[in-house]
Structure 1
Amino acid sequence: MLKLDGIASFVAIAEAGSISAAARRLHLSKSVVSDRLAELEHGLGASLFQRSTRKLSLTEDGAVFLDKATRIVREVEEASADMAERRGKLTGPMRLSAPVTFGRMHLGPALYPFLAAHPDIALTLELDDRRVDASSDGFDAVVRHGALEDSRLVAWQLAPSQRLLVASPGYLSRYGSPRSLDDLAGHRAIYYLNRGVADWRFLDHGDSAFARPAAALRVNNGDMMRDAALAGLGIALLPTFIVGQELKAGTLRVVDVGRLVEPESIYVAHAEGRRSSAKLRALVASLRQTFGEPPYWDVTA
């Protein structure tokens, strides 16, 4: 008979990409996870992974088994959590993904009191600026900043997001303050690499207008964009959750080109068809209350 811990270890290895990473996720030794995988493969009479010196990759049998194994593990976790929730407890594992800068600056501080109030929740939080696939990467939910693009996701807004063009006083003193989208052509821009120049979209009587200044820097991290703007490298388009303090202190200034940036949101989303757990719903409610509306980091342009 197949053991659930072997199936759970297999799913963790497939999602994490290695036995070592799966062992860290499961809080087990590498040898225990390896033994569980070997026992599962023996019980199935099939190899689930192709092994090389560099990585593990799923065999054809492994790929077929993974879909059903993932559902088994999730359903058992949800059933266990449901039983605890019936007794008025929020419990069990929860795995989230969030952007690096927002996670470090705002999500983490908001999570800590929630987790302290619900010590039976075992949260795994992975900070990554890439767009992870909530439907297939094993996450219960993802926290994102932007517009909802994936129709397979069910989303709840945590807070509205105000984005502003910003630059340092030194940069504006040297190169002047642009007053229109056309003026931006003579300036240097700091772009978010995961979005690029197409990110500079502005509202113009209900339609989108674009600006594409020459790039001074392209980088995939909001902290570095802010720091580059503080260093006088160019103009950056950044959310107030990153630059709110700098705007209040005057170390960065709003660049007003007569157009509003297209609005965005900070939201949490989970795969369509997956029932949201009571602990996820409780977390969303707690985050909304902590962030406020308007959110505490917002500033007036």
Structure 2
Amino acid sequence: MDRIDAMRAFVTVVNEGSFTRAAQRLELSPQLVSKYVSQLEQHLGARLLNRTTRKIHLTEAGARYHQRAQAVLGEIEDMESQLGDLQAQARGRLRISAPVSFAIRHLAPLLRDFQQAHPAVDIDLQLNDRKVDIVEEGFDVALRIGRLKSSSLIARRVAPVRLVMCAAPAYLARHGTPRRPEDLKAHRYLHYSYMDPSGREPVFRWLQARTPGHGELVSNNGDVLVAAAIAGAGIVLQPTFLCGAAIQAGQLAVILPEYEPEPMALYAVYAHRRLLPSKVRGFVDFLDGYFGNPPYWDRFG
């Protein structure tokens, strides 16, 4: 028995809902597909399917095996596609969606280097902080920051994204440096309106517990808030890819580092793994490790 063929036959039967349709998809006879599944069950020592004259039903063991088998077959297809890509030059127009501030600060050198390595690829970069629909809006790949929820999209982790709380030394000299989260109640917070404050970290809870005063500053752009913090307007909680350079230059000082929120990540997200175009695979692979480990914006001590 070829285990991969048997695994593929089983997964196709489940996905198609019948042996007949699976045989048509695999261009095999229904008898051979049935034989493959039976041999797989014998090899595993477990029944994977309950068969009736009209329907097939997954057993508990079958459901678990189906999930893992799909992942294994996907990895095999991915590996074979990568080998095939070695024979094909990346070319064509690559449509990329990326967050505004991250792209402005960090993408230009990467895109330059990528096009030097892949001169036949044209790039159409669209900046937007909203979550675009990759398929509906015609993007090849989207860069997203956060903690991704499970979906049908494929996501490749590119780099960690740290969130730090910081303020200008002059502001801290005037108003004092918070030593505990509850000290934040007495401070002016520069609020990022896209930030979800419902997280479990203590720093988020204490920010919510503040008594808002006059002159609060709220914005949906992190660059504005970082600039305001540098000018001494208050305390800001932002990713280090925005505020790391200011911290390194001494324009901002990190406060409450022991309460730093759990890191998020930068992901490259694309619609599917199978038959992935060389231009997309080339770009996603190029992202891997490009920003360093740790990323260069985190090297402020």
Shorter-chain TM-score bucket reads 0.5 to 0.7
In 1, distance between residues paired with 2:176 and 2:291?
35
Specify whether residues 202 and 112 from structure 1 end up closer, same or farther in structure 2 by C-alpha distance, changes over 3 A only. Answer: same
For residue 116 of structure 1, report the CA deviation from its aligned partner.
2.1
Paired residue for 2:160?
160
Structural mapping, 1:97-176, within 5 Å = 97-149=97-149, 151-176=151-176
Q: What is aligned with 2:207?
A: 211
Report the secondary structure of 1:297's partner residue: helix
8 Å contact kept, 2:88–2:278: no
Matched residue, 1:286: 286
CA distance in 2, matches of 1:164, 1:231: 18
* Higher deviation after alignment, 247-256 or 86-95: 86-95
Runs of 4+ aligned structure 1 residues displaced above 3 Å come to 84-87, 196-199, 272-276
Q: Could you list the runs of 5+ residues in structure 1 that have no partner in the other structure?
A: 1-81
The residue that corresponds to 1:15 in the other structure is none
Q: Which residue of 2 aligns with 1:242?
A: 242
- Hey, what's the Cα distance between the residues in 1 that align with 2:197 and 2:231? 21
User: Could you report, residue by residue, the CA deviation over 1:150-204 in whole angstroms, capped at 9, with x for unpaired residues?
Assistant: 62321101111111001111111111111122111111111222225446x5269
Greater shift after overlay, 262-271 or 130-139?
Answer: 130-139
Could you tell me which residue of structure 2 aligns to residue 74 of structure 1?
none
**Structure 2 contact 90–278 (Cα < 8 Å) conserved:** yes
After TM superposition, give the deviation of residue 86 of structure 1 in Å.
7.2
Give unmatched runs, 5+ long, in structure 2: 1-81
Q: In proportion to residue count, which structure has more strand? A: 1
When residues 297 and 124 of structure 1 are mapped into structure 2, their CA distance, relative to the original with a 3 A threshold, is: same
Which residue pairs with 1:225 in the alignment? Answer: 225
State the TM-score, normalizing by the size of structure 2: 0.65
Residue aligned with 1:173, SS: helix
* 2:266 counterpart of 1:295: no
Q: CA 1:275 to 1:264, structure 2 compared with 1: closer, same or farther past 3 Å?
A: farther
Aligned residue pairs: how many?
215
TM-score by length of 1: 0.65
Query: 1:281 is aligned with what amino acid?
Result: R
Separation of aligned partners in 1, 2:273 and 2:267: 18
Q: Is the 8 A contact 1:202 1:210 kept in 2?
A: no
Residue deviations 1:10-62 (CA, integer Å, cap 9, x gap): xxxxxxxxxxxxxxxxxxxxxxxxxxxxxxxxxxxxxxxxxxxxxxxxxxxxx
SS at structure 2 position matched to 1:135 = helix
- CA shift, 1:100, in A, is 0.9
Contact 1:180 1:258 in 2 (8 A): no
Distance in 2, Cα, partners of 1:210 & 1:141:
37
Shift of 1:299: 3.3
Could you say which structure has the larger radius of gyration? 2
